[in-house]
Amino acid sequence: SLYSHKEIFLRELISNASDAIDKARYESLTDQSLAEGGEEWKVQLVADKEAGTLTVRDNGIGMTRDEAVEALGTIAHSGTKEFMKLLESREVKDNPDLIGQFGVGFYSAFMVADKVTVVTRKAGADAKHAVAWASDADGTYTLEDTEKATKGTDVILTLKEDAKDFLEEYELRKIVKQYSDFIEYPVVMDVTRSVPDPEDKEKSVEETKEETLNSRKAIWLKDKSEITEEEYNEFYKHVSHDFTDPARTIHYRAEGTVEFQALLYLPQKRPFDIFYQDYKVGPTLYVRRVQIMDHCEAMLPSYLRFVKGVVESSDLPLNVSREMLQDNRIVEVIRKNLTKKVLDTLAAMKKDDLEAYGTFYEEFGRILKEGIHHDFERKDTIADLLLFESTKTEAGKKITLAEYVGRMPEDQKEIYYITGADRAAAESSPYLEVFKEKDIEVLIMTDDFDDIIISGLGAYKEKEFQSAIKGDLDLGDEKKEEKKKEYGDLLELMKEELKDLVGEVRISGRLKDSAVCLVAGEHDLDPKMAKMFEAMGQDVPKGQRVLEVNPDHDLIARMKGLFAADKESGQLKEYVGLLYDQALLLEGVMPRDPVAFAKTLSTLMAEGVDAD
């Protein structure tokens, strides 16, 4: 129940072997006899298909009989933890890197083995003082004295029938590459290949050679000055499965109360599945070069899910299976540091190479924006990284919010923006008419959730955001109050006719050429967002839409005259209905009844032709 994937057993056994070598190396510094005349430390895999066994062999510290009983015969007893306590009691400063804090990794072998045999001899002990521990997981074990020519431990797994794939060379290579590629010691295996017979070139002979399966290239632990750009790029392709070089590399080492190393990358291209619900988030987590989690979501927020790389820390507390991190302060400290480092890198990229940042933003800006909604603490920092087109930029060119605010006239109090399907649709919108007349710059936002993001941001540098398609605009029209009085009665009639469709009819502060437009309430979803939620099958709160009327439009002036002549005019009521449907069309929505709309419009056009 501790492990989600069977192949984890090999990771655990190799980790234990690495620990054992660490201990032997450390102890041999003061007692050379423990090295037994050789220091070629390694972990060896031996696959015996005939016997159906897989052996994981190390030349590490080994165990005495009592240690074998204590370590192997008691579930969740950790020899590593005891060893660390011993080191602490000696006040040793240069502790070797060790893993296996909980001591249950060994038992993962029983996921794939009917029987596990451990043959071990303590380094420095006589060859006759070895022990053989064996169990078939029935709750009992046997322990016998035996002989072993070399120090260290052999873990021999008698594999189950459905686990015989773990005897195949390709399977072992794959698992080592995935989970133990950066173990400090070589993980080796004898490999047999057919080679040309040196005496007869037309024949071949079998040749067995020892091959190392892991790369041992833990480049994130090296100093930056020792690593070339090509090495950085090669490692990025390894961890990301990408074919292109990264846009930026972040190599970071934190020291202090919490120590960790991180090698993170910003990709150039957005993965096709990054918006899928099952997209895997987070860097690979290593503890002393052993992969603990393939994607550690706890290390970075979801709005930085495009970041690839690895994080390593010996300070991390892990659960017994090492597959989940415990929720504690250390995890939060690492997450906070990494998040800041990534955002700082993006800010530097924007400052130093705006063109490169713009290219990156095209791919990942939509994802980065999510941070405004999800990360309140850093929303101002993220806001500085956002880019938008505006009514005063060339198509495809973007500006920052800081640039927009920097060129606002002194009397402009708000940051104006408009949402739309694309730039062309936004620029042709009647909602921009007054802004064009007054030469006011408006940000153009084309992502479907932009309105929610901007609502969450609220303000930037003390300038409130104001949507061009929501709320009541006040751009200094001195005659607006007079027009409200002049057209008050007509507006009341229109409101009565449309009482089931709009909450209010008012004089517009945004129209100059069009007769009418529909406006959402200040705190309502904009129409684009509402349609997106409806398409997803979600209930959308029905806000009180407002029909805004342009009193300077010839049609509205004629309706005022018609109203003065006959308040009960049927034609006047037809006009009101047509104007509402026209407002729907202007925001990209079908009229309530397209057929009736077309007929009424044709009739009015015919009457106009007859009148001429």
- The number of folded domains in the chain is 4
Q: Is residue 379 situated within a structural domain?
A: no
Task: Give the pLDDT of residue 398.
Answer: 95
Q: Note whether 415 and 401 are within 8 A (CB).
A: yes
Q: What is the pLDDT of residues 130-164, one digit of tens each?
A: 999 999 988 889 999 999 999 999 999 999 999 99
CATH of the domain at 250: 3.30.230.80
Task: Give the pLDDT of residue 321.
Answer: 46
Model pTM?
0.76
Reduce the DSSP state of residue 427 to 3 states and report it. helix
- Rounded to an integer, the average pLDDT of 278-302 is 84
Task: Give the pLDDT of residue 86.
Answer: 65
Question: Do 111 and 153 belong together in one domain?
Answer: yes
- Most confident range (mean pLDDT) of 85-89, 235-239, 537-541 is 235-239
**Which of 307, 335, 355 marks a domain boundary?**
355
Q: Is residue 472 situated within a structural domain?
A: no
**Which of 154, 185, 212 marks a domain boundary?**
212
Question: Do 255 and 327 belong together in one domain?
Answer: yes
Q: What is the pLDDT of residues 116-133, one digit of tens each?
A: 999 999 999 999 999 999
Reduce the DSSP state of residue 44 to 3 states and report it. strand
Q: What is the pLDDT of residues 261-288, one digit of tens each?
A: 999 999 999 988 888 877 888 998 887 7
Question: Do 286 and 401 belong together in one domain?
Answer: no
Residue given tokens 């060790």 in the structure block: 98
Indicate the average pLDDT of the chain: 86
**Which of 155, 180, 212 marks a domain boundary?**
212
Q: What is the pLDDT of residues 204-256, one digit of tens each?
A: 888 899 999 998 888 999 899 999 999 999 889 888 878 889 999 999 999 88
Q: Is residue 412 situated within a structural domain?
A: yes
Q: Is residue 3 situated within a structural domain?
A: no
Q: Which is more confident, 101 or 312?
A: 312
Distances (CA, A) of 94 to 29, 98, 221, 314, 435: 12, 12, 17, 14, 68
Ranking 67-81, 133-147, 512-526 by mean pLDDT, the lowest is 67-81
Give the integer Cα–Cα distance in Å for 417 and 224: 44
Question: Do 427 and 573 belong together in one domain?
Answer: no
Q: Tokens for 540?
A: 């959308």
Q: What is the pLDDT of residues 563-593, one digit of tens each?
A: 888 888 888 888 899 999 999 888 778 898 8
Reduce the DSSP state of residue 441 to 3 states and report it. coil
Q: Which is more confident, 1 or 8?
A: 8
478 has pLDDT over 60: yes
CATH of the domain at 153: 3.30.565.10
pLDDT > 70: what percent of the chain?
88
Q: Confidence class of residue 331 from pLDDT cuts 50, 70 and 90?
A: confident
Torsion angle of the four alpha carbons 322, 81, 73, 6, in this order, in degrees rounded to the nearest 10:
20
Give the integer Cα–Cα distance in Å for 512 and 451: 24
DSSP symbols for 219-238: GGGS-GGG--HHHHHHHHHH
- Rounded to an integer, the average pLDDT of 53-71 is 93
Q: Tokens for 506?
A: 């008012």
Question: Do 208 and 223 belong together in one domain?
Answer: no
Q: Is residue 375 situated within a structural domain?
A: no
Question: Do 193 and 290 belong together in one domain?
Answer: no
- Rounded to an integer, the average pLDDT of 42-49 is 96
DSSP symbols for 547-591: EEE-TTSHHHHHHHHHHHH-TT-HHHHHHHHHHHHHHHHHTT---
CATH of the domain at 585: 1.20.120.790
Ranking 155-169, 287-301, 479-493 by mean pLDDT, the lowest is 287-301
- Rounded to an integer, the average pLDDT of 417-435 is 90
Question: Do 177 and 322 belong together in one domain?
Answer: no
Question: Do 238 and 300 belong together in one domain?
Answer: yes
- Rounded to an integer, the average pLDDT of 500-504 is 89
The angle formed by the CA atoms of residues 577, 582 and 587, to the nearest 5 degrees, is: 130
Question: Do 226 and 276 belong together in one domain?
Answer: yes
Domain limits at 305? 219-355
Question: Do 490 and 539 belong together in one domain?
Answer: yes
